[in-house]
Structure 1
């Protein structure tokens, strides 16, 4: 009852003091009551979108990782080391070069794996300066993966007789250290007549080159066989 009487007296006091007292009382109200109501919306708030850093070259990620390219202009006798020496200063090794052979094992081009975009750009400058017979084109990693890497450890035997079998090839390669299980024989169309060939793998490049030196133009049955080291 005493609280009710105190409230009534406060109301009459506010009315008698006029606008000044009313303003003071209003300042005492909770701030929640004075804030204007926010409009109601059924749409969810959209999160703030991050700024596009691609527009600023300083914020772009560095161009790292290997770059792959096709190189044209080599001959049938070009070696991996020839390409490494040609592109001197591009930080290449023989493992960064793979030859692209057709069905007759004629080199149609090669793939080169550059350590970075910088070395790829350097190769263009080198070719323009001392290798104008060569042509370099950007390529995909998938093209690199599809190529067989013979790595100078495989010999190609061309011109073996059609009656020859793997045992004849083993006799022909007698005295050389090679993998007998790797012998593959094939027939390819040629002009004027088809030609029979075989490939043989060796444990190392040195052993393959020794076999090439000692066996090239030797005879299998009555046919002279030409050898070539596949890169």
Structure 2
């Protein structure tokens, strides 16, 4: 009996003096009590796994920042203002729209710059409800950057004679206010003969519209010329 009392006193003294014990339970290095029961261990493991597991992406809010899309299926004569009215509520401006042309300047699609991902999602729903012929796809910033904006300040003249010189085109444009240093004569494949084109940049959209009214269906060296504004 005396030995049992001595042993119990020594055990109690050891627990009291040991800094790594709390209420008789051993402590982990971070100060938490070690759980001996299976239920406590499983609960602790679930809490640790829940803290380290990633958040479900479907529950995250939509990312902020600019989002880009490519719209196809619109008519050849569609204007930027037509798209702004179509995508009402998406906060688009004319500066947020670029027209993508092929080598003969036939429009292939329109690149749209939305102020946020939520605005792009709204546009997608509008396409589904209003314009079944349209198609809106998400694209990256690189596709937006490579498209040249003309902003309604460039006229495309078609039907330029193959033998015409830049001086002949300048005489054809007499009376118009344009940038003579940015006049380009281009040759594109056509049937049965190649097509001669001229690109002329004007200081403002108003100057381009005035030149369109004055020179569309005019003549350059007895050849009929058609003019079209590039957006």
- TM-score strictly above 0.5: yes
Map 1:1-231 to 2 at 5 A. Answer: 51-55=52-56, 60=60, 62-231=62-231
Separation in structure 2 between the aligned mates of residue 83 and residue 130 of structure 1, nearest angstrom: 12
Separation in structure 2 between the aligned mates of residue 73 and residue 202 of structure 1, nearest angstrom: 29
Shift of 1:191: 1.6
Shift of 1:225: 0.9
Task: Provide, for residues 103-129 of structure 1, a one-character-per-residue CA deviation record: whole Å limited to 9, x for no partner.
Answer: 000001111111112111211222223
Is the contact made by 2:66 and 2:115 (CA closer than 8 Å) also made in structure 1? yes
Cα distance change on mapping 1:183 and 1:63 into 2, 3 Å: same
Task: Provide, for residues 34-70 of structure 1, a one-character-per-residue CA deviation record: whole Å limited to 9, x for no partner.
Answer: 99xxxxxxxxxxxx99724434866x46511111111
Residues paired across the two proteins, number: 204
Instruction: Give the ranges of 4+ consecutive aligned residues of structure 1 lying more than 4 Å apart after TM superposition.
Output: 18-28
In structure 2, list runs of 5 or more residues that go unmatched. 22-47
Cα distance change on mapping 1:133 and 1:19 into 2, 3 Å: closer
Which structure has the bigger radius of gyration? Answer: 1
In structure 1, list runs of 5 or more residues that go unmatched. 1-17, 36-47
Q: TM-score normalised to the size of structure 1?
A: 0.76
Shift of 1:206: 1.2
Separation in structure 1 between the aligned mates of residue 122 and residue 197 of structure 2, nearest angstrom: 39
Separation in structure 2 between the aligned mates of residue 135 and residue 160 of structure 1, nearest angstrom: 35
Cα distance change on mapping 1:84 and 1:25 into 2, 3 Å: closer
Separation in structure 2 between the aligned mates of residue 171 and residue 120 of structure 1, nearest angstrom: 47
